[in-house]
Amino acid sequence: TPSAIQKIKQLLKDKPEHVGVKVGVRTRGCNGLSYTLEYTKSKGDSDEEVVQDGVRVFIEKKAQLTLLGTEMDYVEDKLSSEFVFNNPNIKGTCGCGESFNI
């Protein structure tokens, strides 16, 4: 989303050695999977690259099918600010919202 693009641009402004962010999934939590998001200095051999409005997002190979069709957003409210993934593939989430299953 435009909000996520602006936030990533802002975060990368102070990190000239990084070319973008990498999104993945890890086995974790009570429901199986959770998202990972980290700075990256280069594209991995099997990463999928998505470029939107000058922002480069790399998707780890093992997360590509899990994240197919997912929208990444950045949301701020009075109590928190966070990247949110709107994933149409999710079948269920845990009560705390920290993990999901496909």
* Cα separation, 3 vs 7, whole angstroms: 6
| pLDDT value at residue 90 | 65
User: In order of start, what are the domains of the chain with their CATH numbers?
Assistant: 2-90 (2.60.300.12)
What's the pLDDT tens digit per position in 25-81? 887 766 577 788 999 999 989 999 999 999 999 999 988 888 888 899 999 989 889
| pLDDT value at residue 25 | 84
* Cα separation, 11 vs 21, whole angstroms: 10
- 100 with 31: CB under 8 angstroms? yes
| pLDDT value at residue 92 | 60
| pLDDT value at residue 97 | 54
> Whats the size of the chain, residue-wise?
102
* Cα separation, 12 vs 5, whole angstroms: 11
